[in-house]
Amino acid sequence: MLAREFFEGDTVEAARALVGKYLVRQYDGVVLAARITETEAYVGRMDKACHAYNYRKTERTKTLYAPPGTAYVYLIYGMHCCLNFVTERTGEPAAVLIRGLAPRHNRDIIAENRFHCKCADMTAYQRKNFLNGPGKVCAGMNIGRALNGLPCGSPELFLCERLEDAGLPPCPDDSEPLHIKAGKRIGIDYAEEAIHFPWRFYV
């Protein structure tokens, strides 16, 4: 699994580097794994899109001040969870949001979590919109607010370089090199100049 040191550096660099890594979720004897396809960086000290902009500290944002690699899970619209991993040094509020995944292990369970059906029974619309958004990521991977504050390297939820690092078989779909693009982040129209930061990375 990725060590704490991976998360200690620059947040934007970490956001780009996480594309292509694997998110692993373990619960109730089940192991789910998916490849990260989209991320966004948020940096509190100067980013008006970050919950902790200008070092704002509230009950919601206190996790952003935790050690690097900590899971920051918050609720949007009162119903959808979003998964982030805290970056930079302890006390410096910054994180990478996981925006998109491609399922790799136990895909049928991920599909059941999202749509209450197996992969083979998904519609074309469901396949297109499987895990392409932060709320969908959390729904498919069974990630809720109970995981907020989970330390780096916890077996319930972790990141790794290769599926084999989690004791899982490699996926043939991942043999080709990735072509990572950068662009503006999504859904931050309130963030003034930060709207234009090219801090979203995707394939």
Mean of the pLDDT values across residues 117-146? Answer: 97
pTM of the model: 0.97
Query: What is residue 131's predicted lDDT score, i.e. its pLDDT?
Result: 98
Average pLDDT, the chain: 96
Check: CB of residue 201 under 8 Å from CB of residue 16: yes
> 71-80: long-range contacts at Cβ-Cβ below 8 A with a sequence spacing of 24 or more?
71/147, 71/148, 71/149, 71/150, 71/154, 71/157, 72/148, 72/149, 73/138, 73/143, 73/144, 73/145, 73/147, 73/148, 74/145, 74/148, 75/145, 76/134, 76/135, 79/135, 80/134, 80/135, 80/138, 80/139
Is the pLDDT at 38 greater than 80, yes or no?
Answer: yes
Tokens of 198: 């090219």
Mean of the pLDDT values across residues 184-202? Answer: 97
Is the pLDDT at 173 greater than 90, yes or no?
Answer: no
Cα 173 from chain centre: 20
Write the pLDDT tens digit of every residue in 49-71.
999 999 999 999 999 999 999 99
Is the pLDDT at 152 greater than 90, yes or no?
Answer: yes
The pLDDT confidence band at residue 79, using thresholds 50, 70 and 90, is: confident
First to last CA, the chain: 22
- From residue 22, give the alpha-carbon distance in Å to each of 35, 56, 116, 199: 4, 31, 23, 20
Fold of the CATH domain 4-202: 3-methyladenine DNA Glycosylase; Chain A (3.10.300)
Domain boundaries, the chain: 4-202
